[in-house]
Amino acid sequence: MSSSTPHTTPSPLTRASIEAAHELIKPYIHRTPVITNTTLTNLASTPQTIEALKGTPWEGQEPAKPKICLFFKCENFQRIGAFKVRGAFHAVLRLVEEKGIEEVKKKGVVTHSSGNHAQALALAARTLHIPAHIVMPSISTPSKIAGTRSHAPTIHFSGSTSQEREAVVASVIADTGATLIPPYDHPNIILGQGTLGLEVQAEVAELIAGQDGELDALMVPCGGGGLLSGTSIALHDSHTLVFGAEPSFQGADDATRGVAAGQRIETVKSLTIADGLRTPLGKHTWPIISNAEYVAGMYSVTEQNIKDAMKLVLERMKVFVEPSAVVGLAVCLYNEEFRRRVEREAGEEGWDVGVVFSGGNTTVEAITKIFADVDGGKAERAEGVVGKDGGRVAENVAG
C-alpha cells in the first residue's frame, strides 16, 4: 500500500459533512475568537503610495483606493497553536468510528509533517490513547519538534523531501500496520479544517448584526490547501467569496501559478519564511481550489510584505503569530491586484474581509532572526512611514 494513501473511508465534500464534522470535534477544539482592529482596517483602506509601488508589478500605476473592514479569525489561539487540530481530530475520530477503538489502538496512526500537523495528530492520538508515529524532517524547527514530543508520540526523523518522508512512513506502516493520517490531502482532513468556515460565519454574524451579517470575502493562507478547500466548501452557498493567499518567494505560490496555467504544480522547493505554506496542492485539494465557483482567486505576496504585515500584527494588535498566518493580511495591505478588485467590485460600500490567522507556532528567537536585517528604513516601512524603499504605516490609532 502506498504511504500516500490512507485506508479510511472519506465522507463527501459537502457543507453538511462539515457541519457533522464540527459536531464531532467540538469537545476537542477551541472555538477561537474573531477580532477587529481599527489601525489595520484604516491601513487596508488607505491607498499605497506611488513610491511604495516602485519595484512591484504595479510600478507607475495609480494606487488602488479600496475600502476594507477587516475581521481576524485567530487560530493562533487554537489548541497546539494552529488550525490543524480540526482536521487531525476529525480524521482520527472517523477512523475510530470505522474500525473501532481497540483496532486503532492496536495498530496506531502515522503521519509526516514538519510542524503543526505533527503536533495536532500527536495531541489527538494522546487524547484518545492511540499510539502515534510522527515522521519529521530532521531540519524541522526545534520548537515544533519539542511541541510534538510533548505529546509523547514515537518520532521518526527523515530527510526533507516528500519522497524521503513517505519512505519512512511506508516503513512504519509495514512494521506496525498504522493508519496514515495525511497532513492535508484527504477528504476527512479537508472537512475538519472546513469547520473554521462555519465558525467565522456565525461569529461575524454576531459582530455585524443589523447589517447583512455576512463577510464579503474571506482570505485564507494556502499551503497544501486543506484549510482553503475546506472553508470554500463550507461557504460555497453563502454571500462570502473565498480567496487564497500564498508567499511568492522561490515559487511557493504554486497554487496561484497552477490555477493561472490550468495545471497542478506538484513540487515546491522554497525557503520562504512562511514555512507552513511550502507544500504544493494535493490531488484532493487541487480540484476545489482550481474551481472558481469555490475559490474566487489566488494572490501572492513577497517576503518583505509578510515581514511588514507580521510587524504590524505584533506591534499594533499585540497578537503573537507565525509568518504563515499573516500572508492573507499582507494580500489585503499590499497586493494591488486584490485591492483593485475590492475597489472595482465593492465601490463606496467596501468589503468586510475576514482574514485567517492560521497559527502562532514560532518563537521569540525565530522572530528576532526574521527581523535581524531590518534597518531603520525597513522598520519605517513596516510602520507605514513612506521611505525611499517604499511602504507606509498607519496613524497611531487605537485598535
Question: Which residues are marked as active site?
Answer: 84, 114
- C-alpha 377/C-alpha 386 separation (Å) is 9
Q: Please, are residues 390 and 381 in contact by the beta-carbon 8 Å criterion?
A: yes
Cβ(302)–Cβ(256) below 8 Å: no
Alpha carbon of 6 to those of 98, 173, 184, 224, 246: distances in Å?
A: 13, 10, 12, 17, 27
Query: What is the DSSP annotation of 344-362?
Result: HHHTTT-EEEEEEE-B---
Q: Rg for the chain (alpha carbons), in Å?
A: 20
Residue 164 parent element (H or E): helix 162-176
Contact partners, residue 207, CB within 8 Å, separation at least 6: 34, 36, 71
- Beta strands, E only, 248-365: 297-301, 351-357
Cα first-last separation, the chain: 53
Task: Please say whether the beta carbons of 113 and 74 come within 8 A.
Answer: no
Q: How many CB atoms lie within 10 A of CB 153?
A: 25
- The H-or-E segment that residue 53 falls in is none
Unique residue bearing C-alpha cell 499590499: 334
Distance CA 126, CA 190 (A): 22
